[in-house]
Amino acid sequence: MPARDPRSSDFLVLGSGIAGLLAALKLARLGRVTLVTKKEAAESNTNYAQGGIAAVMDALDSFESHVRDTLVAGAGLCDERVVRLTVSEAPARVRELAELGVRFSSRGGATDLGLEGGHSHRRILHAGDITGREIERALVAAARREPRVRLIENHIGVDLLLDRDGACRGAYAMDRRDGRIAAFTAEAVVLATGGAGKVYLYTSNPDIATGDGMAMAWRAGAAMADMEFVQFHPTCLFHPQAKSFLLSEALRGEGGLLRLKNGERFMPRYDRRAELAPRDIVARAIDAEMKRTGDDCVYLDMTRRPRRFLKSRFPNIYEKTLSFGLDMAERPVPVVPAAHFFCGGVAVDEWGATSVPRLYAIGETARTGLHGANRLASNSLLEGCVFADRLARRLGEAGALAAAAPFRVQPWRYGRAVTSDEAVVVTQNWDEIRRLMWNYVGIVRTDKRLTRARARLRLLRREIDEYYWNTVPTPDILELRNIADVAELVIRSALARRESRGLHYTLDCPRPVPSLRRTTVLRRRAR
C-alpha cells in the first residue's frame, strides 16, 4: 500500500487506554502512528480505574518489598525477572505521567500514598478515586497535541493482516457508524485493547471490554497464556440501578470492613490479613458466605471513617452511592464480586513481543508474567506504563524491524454474506455465553461445571461461526465472535490446570500442586 495512503503508517496501535496512549506517544518519536480505538478515545478500562498506580515512592518502602508483595499475590506463577524490572522502572514511569499532566493527589505538600490489599506499605498514587479518568484526560490531550499521532475513533478491530511469511502487517477495522471495513497497515502492530470482562454476566468493566485484541491475536496464531486466571473484584455495588459500579479496594485500605447482613464480620475467619488479603481470597470468601447464608450480597462498612474524610478521599464513590440513596458515612453499602481483570492474555516477552512477528501486545491484553496467578492491586496501570515504554525502546533500536517483504492489501470482501434479519441470534448467544461463564467458570469451579461449559460452548460456536460467515458483519456480531473465542480459551485453560492456584479455584483439586507450578500455554495455527 503506498505510503501516502492515510491508512498506512509506521506503527498501528489498537486501543486507547493507558498502555495504548503511552505507546502511541512514545512511538511518535520514531515515526507516524495510527491509533485506532473502539469508541471515543477516553472510553477504556483505564478510564474506570479508581484505585491508582503502585510505585515505591516513600523512603520507608523498598523495591524488594514491592517485589515480594507481587510474588506472594501471584501464587508462584509470576516471572520474577519481569516483576523486578517492572517494580524498578515504576518511579520513572510515574514521574513521566506527572510530566504529561496527570495530577496525583497530595497531602501536606507530598504525594498522598494509599494502601490496598496485598501491599505491605503505602505506595498507591491516586487522583482521588478517579485515577483512571485523570490519566485518560491527560494522555488523550497529549495524543491530540502530537502531530505524528493520527487518532481514529469509533472503529472496532475485525482481524489482523498477515503476510505470506506469517508476520503481522496491519488490521482490518470497522467504522462503527456506517459498518464499512477498511485495512490499516503498518510496519508493527500493537494490541492494547484491554481485557474481556464482558465475557461474564457480572463485571466491573465497561461495555467495550469484549476481548477483541486477545481474540484477534488467537485467530492470527499467537500463543495465549494463563487464560484461566480471571480476577473477580470483591466489591462491586449491589443495586438494581447501578451498572457494575466498582467500590475501590482502597476503601478497605482505609479501614473498610466486610460484614454480613446481621452485622457479623467474616474476613478474619478466612485470612490473617482479613479485609487486606489479596483479591482472590476476599472474593472467594464473599462468594462462600453468600452461598452459606443464601444472601444476595454482603456489606462494606465505612462508618468508622468521618464523612469529611470519605468525601475528600473518595468523592466519586461517595457521590455515586449517595445518588442511589446509600450514605456510606451512616450505614454499610451492599457489595458483590464481579469479573474484573484478566491476568492471562497474549503471551509476550519482556519487550511486549508476541509469537507472531511484528505483532506486540501490552496492557491487560497481554500476559507479561507480572501478575502470575493473581494480580496485586494497582499493578495493572503500572504494567501498562512500563511495557509501553519498553516496547517503544525496543522498536527504537537499530534493526529492530528488518526490512519487510512487499505486502499487497486485499480489500475486505463480503462474499455471499447477506444483511441479517435475525439479530436475536446475537443477543441470545451473547446472553447465554455470559451466563454460562458466570455459572460454570466463575469464582469457584469444578470439573463437572467446566465440562458442561465446554460442551455447551461448542454448540454455541457452531451457530455463531455460521452466522458470522454468512452475515454482513456488525459491531455486535464482531463482539459476539470475540467473547466466544475468549470464553473457549478460559475454559480450555481451566480444564488444563489440575490444581487450585491463585484465581483458579476448583473444588476437585482444592490445593496447589508444586509439580504443576507452570504457565498454561495454548497455541493454534492461523486460520
- Which residues are the active-site residues? 279
* Whether 142 contacts 28, CB under 8 Å: no
Task: Say which residues have a Cβ less than 8 Å from residue 479's Cβ, sequence separation at least 6.
Answer: 156, 198, 210, 212, 430
CA distances from 422 to 467, 471, 472 (A): 10, 10, 12
Q: Is residue 437 classed as helix, strand or coil in its secondary structure?
A: helix
**For residues 417 and 192, what is the distance between their CA atoms, to the nearest angstrom?**
30
Amino acid at 451: T
Specify the residue for cell string 481485557: 195
Helix-helix angle 475-496:212-219, to 10 degrees? 70
**For residues 161 and 175, what is the distance between their CA atoms, to the nearest angstrom?**
17
Dig out the grid coordinates for 237 from the structure.
455495588
HSE of 234, CA atoms in CB hemisphere, 13 A: 31
Length of the chain: 527
| 438, 439, 442, 448 alpha-carbon torsion, rounded to 10° | -140
**For residues 82 and 217, what is the distance between their CA atoms, to the nearest angstrom?**
22
**For residues 487 and 493, what is the distance between their CA atoms, to the nearest angstrom?**
10
* Whether 332 contacts 341, CB under 8 Å: no
Tell me which residue of 366, 401, 371 sits closest to 192, measured CA to CA. 366
Q: 346 forms bridges with which residues in the sheet?
A: 224, 366
**For residues 93 and 75, what is the distance between their CA atoms, to the nearest angstrom?**
26
What DSSP designation does 344 have? -
Give the 3-state secondary structure percentages of the chain, helix then strand then coil, rounded to 5. 35, 20, 45
**For residues 310 and 328, what is the distance between their CA atoms, to the nearest angstrom?**
8
User: What does the radius of gyration of the chain's CA atoms come to, in whole angstroms?
Assistant: 22
* Whether 65 contacts 56, CB under 8 Å: yes
DSSP codes joined into one string, 335-402: EEEEEEEES-EEE--TTSB-SSTTEEE-GGGEE-SSSTTSPPTTHHHHHHHHHHHHHHHHHTSTTSSP
Spell out where 268-332 has E strands: 298-301
Specify the residue for cell string 486460520: 527
Specify the residue for cell string 489440575: 498
**For residues 389 and 518, what is the distance between their CA atoms, to the nearest angstrom?**
28
Quick one: 19 exposed, middle or buried, by C-beta within 10 A (0-12, 13-18, 19+)?
Answer: buried
Quick one: 250 exposed, middle or buried, by C-beta within 10 A (0-12, 13-18, 19+)?
Answer: buried
